[in-house]
Amino acid sequence: MKISIFGLGYVGAVSLACLSRDGHDVIGVDIDRNKLDLIAAGKTPVVEEGMVELMQRVAASGRVTVTTDAGAAVRDSDISLVCVGTPSAANGSQDQGAILRLAREMGRALAVKTQPHVIVFRSTIVPGTVEDVLRPIIEEESGKRDGQDFHLCFQPEFLREGSSIRDYDKPPFTIVGANHEHPVDQLRALFGHLPCKLIRTSVRSAEMMKYCCNNFHALKITFANETARLCDALGVDAFEVMDLVCQDTQLNISKAYLKPGFAFGGSCLPKDLRATSYLAKSHDVEVPMLSAILKSNEEHLAVALNKVLATGKRRIGFIGLSFKSGTDDLRESPLVTLAEQLIGKGMQLSVYDPEVHMSTLLGANRRYIESHLPHIGQLLQADIGQVIAGADVLVVGLSGSDVTQALVRGCRADQTVIDLVNLGSQTGIAAQVEGLCW
């Protein structure tokens, strides 16, 4: 394929070297003449393992050319990979100056190009940039339509500096955010041989998932480092601890706890986080990330409270009260806190939870609910149908086919369902279903 690559920094230079190594003709484009001269001379513009030898090889192959002329590069290639920098602006926002200027230039080039062309954005860009910012610019400058005369898509880059050639050849996956089949086919032709899945998704999800990946990496590093600071103060071997933590691939290094849902609660996580923060404080160790977790959890609860209040309705039915399905443990259940807050605002509540029976609540669990919801006995209903029938708003904190079927059977069009569990397909529920934050 004939490929043009815009921006020959770490991402662009490595892509140029690897794609030409794989037999493609590549045009490298940059505004930095020095980088172009280096590449033309078979030298690498970035310090990366394996790049010195690879650049020599591909320059000698005759498959690499360089230019500062973006228009010519678009006209002389079938597909363009955009890898220009997207650094932070002074206020923390993304400085999109380079990519916006480039989009205008590419649009003008497309105006006079008669062959079909695919533009693949590979720079990390905030969600919505391709469809709401770059597409309008390119369509206006070219006078042509995305999806008809040319194709835009987004393919996040996962290489890590220091091992980028190895990462190029063995990425975790290839993600393509596209609205049409043609750009996906083109990218499959370029990257389909790699030993990983190629997954097609929406452009916005592809843009967002790149941020999630980097945020998750930063979160994990900070978690290990905060743990190490605390371990150090406590005389515990942090490497041993983190190694043990990582050996749990059922709950720790796994998909567990990584699905959006309602706030966490229960008899363990909140109290143990509080104890950890206190322990750190008493040893003069700062753990801002761990200490902020409960605050973030409260924020999630506040979102649910505001959603219920925004309906302006007063008869609220709760489906689920314990901190998770399948238990009667009410201690620090976020649903109990939500119920308490709504009662405080003068709402009328009725509650259905198949696991919660006043007669069997014992010990700390009973004391907890009696101090937080003193009239719990009067609120509890044994029949889910009755709770549904008597409510204007249903707060669903319990998942399962029984619940969904009851909602399908009992809900009316004048009701609102606030879905805290991601009920999934809402087909058949007559009420207006609102997800918590989805």
Ligand X SMILES: NC(=O)c1ccc[n+]([C@@H]2O[C@H](COP(=O)([O-])OP(=O)(O)OC[C@H]3O[C@@H](n4cnc5c(N)ncnc54)[C@H](O)[C@@H]3O)[C@@H](O)[C@H]2O)c1
Residues of this chain that bind ligand X (CB under 6 A): 6-12, 29-32, 35, 83-86, 98, 101-102, 123-124, 157, 159-161
CB of 260 to ligand X, least distance (A): 25
Q: How far apart are CA 408 and CA 410, in angstroms?
A: 6
Identity of the residue, 9 or 42, whose beta carbon is nearer to ligand X in the bound complex = 9
Identity of the residue, 28 or 270, whose beta carbon is nearer to ligand X in the bound complex = 28
Identity of the residue, 123 or 350, whose beta carbon is nearer to ligand X in the bound complex = 123
CB of 188 to ligand X, least distance (A): 21
Strand partners, 199: 175
Q: How far apart are CA 314 and CA 326, in angstroms?
A: 28
Catalytic residues: 268
CB of 218 to ligand X, least distance (A): 14
CB of 129 to ligand X, least distance (A): 11
CB of 156 to ligand X, least distance (A): 7
Joined tokens for residue 348: 């009328």
Identity of the residue, 160 or 412, whose beta carbon is nearer to ligand X in the bound complex = 160
In single-letter form, the type of residue at position 53 comes to E
Residue nearest ligand X, Cβ-based: 9
Identity of the residue, 27 or 84, whose beta carbon is nearer to ligand X in the bound complex = 84
Q: What size, in residues, is the chain?
A: 438
Q: How far apart are CA 270 and CA 322, in angstroms?
A: 15
Per-residue burial over 247-278, b = 16 or more CB atoms within 10 Å of its CB, e = otherwise: eeeeeeeeeeeeeebbbbbbbebbeebeebbe
Q: What is the dihedral of CA 252, 254, 260, 262, to 10 degrees?
A: -40
| CB of 54 closer than 8 Å to CB of 17 | yes
Question: In which region does residue 92 sit, left (phi positive, over 0), alpha (psi from -120 to 50) or beta (all else)?
Answer: left
